[in-house]
Structure 1
């Protein structure tokens, strides 16, 4: 069985063209996107948080899985790249775009928790991890990607990834699985009193 993605969001082709023109190289890969769509679809009426809009490829995948009563907040520091996402997806009333530092947003947010948190940037992942996990609702999912070594990693980043995984493994309030698939994923569900698995090669 292959893992080729066969169901693509209708806005993805336009976003990819804009991504190429902008020279942006950090969009989530296709298999990760397909998982985002499935996770969004698993939460009818769900509240979703994306940290790191980029040009909106991950956003498009999430939107493609959401039902009419779901909502998405997506946060991005770089206004230039987020403008691409706003142009393609900004007319969807289910999506709220926030331009600003993800760490500042996490620290200042005082609303309801989220059923799905996708952390695709440093805040909520390598910084402000505790705050991001606090915002996962009971039974909700926390997802991170880019955990397998990549040529674009800066010096010392592999050590940061190992520290992040070790910290998550020590938690007793999430059930976690690490997947040596796509760019390397960790998915964690808030459930309490269980530790993380060891499934990432």
Structure 2
């Protein structure tokens, strides 16, 4: 079966061209993007968090699946890279771009949420180290009951630092041992894990 996405976001060609020009190679796989679009479509009026905007390819997929009343917050440390996404997608009122370290943002948002001043998210896509290899607990605590947490790039990738494969193995073991999420590994695209919160947040 050919799993090449038939429907793609209108902004994708421009974002891919900008990524090539910038030498940016960390955008999400198109198949991962198509899954993001479907997960976003499953959440009418949903609240979505993306950690790691990059040039905005994942952002474009999420927006493509979202309904008019859904909202997306996307966080990126490198504002020069995120500027590409802002330029192509910033006119969409459903998305809020945040230029910040993902770990710092998670800590600050978690503190606000703990005090009742910030809402959880129906879908969290962690496409960078914060929220995945660091600050994992903070990201998971922001997933609403019944909400989804998705990570990619779990299969060996060119340029992985020494010892990173062991870090991935530890991450998978930790996620799959949790009693408040149901998880599934997907040997597909760049290697994915999807987790759904099954009980109320602690």
Instruction: State the TM bucket, normalised to the shorter chain.
Output: over 0.9
Matched, 1:165 2:196: no
1:60 aligns with 60
- CA offsets, 1:43-86, max 9 Å, x none? 00000000000000000000000000000000000011000000
The answer to whether structure 1 residue 145 and structure 2 residue 130 are counterparts is no
SS at match of 1:146: coil
Question: Given that residues 175 and 192 in structure 1 are in contact (C-alpha distance below 8 angstroms), is that contact kept between their aligned partners in structure 2?
Answer: no
Structure 1 stretches (4+) deviating beyond 4 angstroms? none
Q: Does structure 1 residue 117 correspond to structure 2 residue 124?
A: yes
SS in 2 for 1:177: strand
Partner SS state of residue 26, structure 1 = coil
Contiguous gaps of at least 5 residues in structure 1: 194-201
Q: Distance in 2 between matches of 1:143 and 1:167?
A: 14
Instruction: Give TM-score, length-normalised by structure 1.
Output: 0.95
1:152: Cα distance to partner?
A: 2.2
The alignment of Structure 1 onto Structure 2 pairs a total of residues equal to 193
Provide the C-alpha distance between the structure 1 equivalents of 2:32 and 2:15, rounded to a whole number of angstroms: 16
Instruction: Quote the residue 1:177 is aligned against.
Output: 184
* Structure 1 Cα separation of the partners of residues 127 and 186 of structure 2: 16
Residue 13 of structure 1 and its aligned partner are, at CA, apart by 0.2
**Contiguous gaps of at least 5 residues in structure 2:** 113-117
User: Which structure 2 residues correspond to residues 72-91 of structure 1 after superposition, within 5 A?
Assistant: 72-91=72-91
Q: Is the 8 A contact 2:176 2:182 kept in 1?
A: no
Q: CA RMSD, aligned part only?
A: 0.9
Aligned equivalent of 1:51:
51
Can you list the C-alpha shifts for 1:98-145, whole angstroms capped at 9, x where unaligned? 001000000001210000000000000000000000000000000000
